[in-house]
A and B are shown apart, each in its own frame.
Chain A
């Protein structure tokens, strides 16, 4: 099993809808989780960090962590075309970040 697994998508949502991105992780991954956004040809940009069970909200983004189920998710409310990108889930372990393969999101105007 890979340390961090994501549904590679692609995921398409209409403008204004909620986009839901999901990620599971193995026992090798510790307690800190991050969501990065990566536009085509660019480097990953950190958008959310979550360390505790439950929800964390920042503007239109909500990260959810369920340690018992080893599950992390990212909700994007009121999706905009500018949200179209690949979203990478990452978790820490052994002094490094383990990344999923990313989920490609397209927001349709």
Chain B
């Protein structure tokens, strides 16, 4: 049973650039959530995708955008990168529209460094 996968593992960008991160959910899951985890902090919710639409969004600027494809995989795009965007970006998948009782399982993450 394939778990959540993310690519790339690591990424180095410079300020002002744009980045795209990718996620494939656990087999059978239909909902993808994205989180940002700064060093020493808990993950912070960015947004959640279900049925190819953004279902809920956290307190992140419009520079952060996403997409979900018909096969449930998802992308996170960040424009105009800032130094403060350096973090571990985590994708989590869950079942059946992300009901609050449904557990979320995380992928290995993408470590983004902005120079």
List the interface of chain A (C-beta within 8 A of B): 4, 30-32, 34, 36, 42-46, 49, 51, 88, 90, 92-102
Judge whether B56 is part of the interface by a CB distance below 8 angstroms: yes
- Excluding A99-B43, A102-B41, A102-B42, 7 further A-B contacts by CB distance (< 8 Å) are A32-B101, A43-B90, A44-B43, A92-B100, A93-B100, A94-B56, A101-B40
**Number of A-B pairs, beta carbon distance below 8 Å:** 60
Residue in contact with A43 in the complex, picked from B40, B55, B106, CB distance below 8 Å: B106
Asked if A43 and B107 make an inter-chain contact with CB atoms under 8 angstroms apart, the answer reads yes
- Closest B residue to A88 using CB positions: B42
Chain B residues whose CB sits within 8 angstroms of the CB of A102 once the complex forms? 41-42
How distant is the Cα of A99 from the Cα of B45 in the complex, in angstroms?
A: 9
List the interface of chain B (C-beta within 8 A of A): 33, 35, 40-45, 48, 55-56, 58, 88, 90, 92, 98, 100-101, 103-109
Q: How far is the CB of B38 from chain A (nearest CB, A)?
A: 10
Q: A96-B56, A98-B45, A101-B42 are in contact. Are A46 and B109 (CB under 8 A)?
A: no
Asked if B100 and A31 make an inter-chain contact with CB atoms under 8 angstroms apart, the answer reads yes
16 contacts between A and B (CB under 8 A): A4-B42, A31-B100, A32-B100, A42-B109, A43-B88, A90-B42, A95-B55, A95-B56, A95-B100, A96-B45, A96-B58, A97-B45, A97-B104, A99-B43, A101-B41, A102-B41
Asked if A43 and B100 make an inter-chain contact with CB atoms under 8 angstroms apart, the answer reads no
Chain B residues whose CB sits within 8 angstroms of the CB of A32 once the complex forms? 100-101
How distant is the Cα of A56 from the Cα of B87 in the complex, in angstroms?
A: 33
Chain B residues whose CB sits within 8 angstroms of the CB of A36 once the complex forms? 106
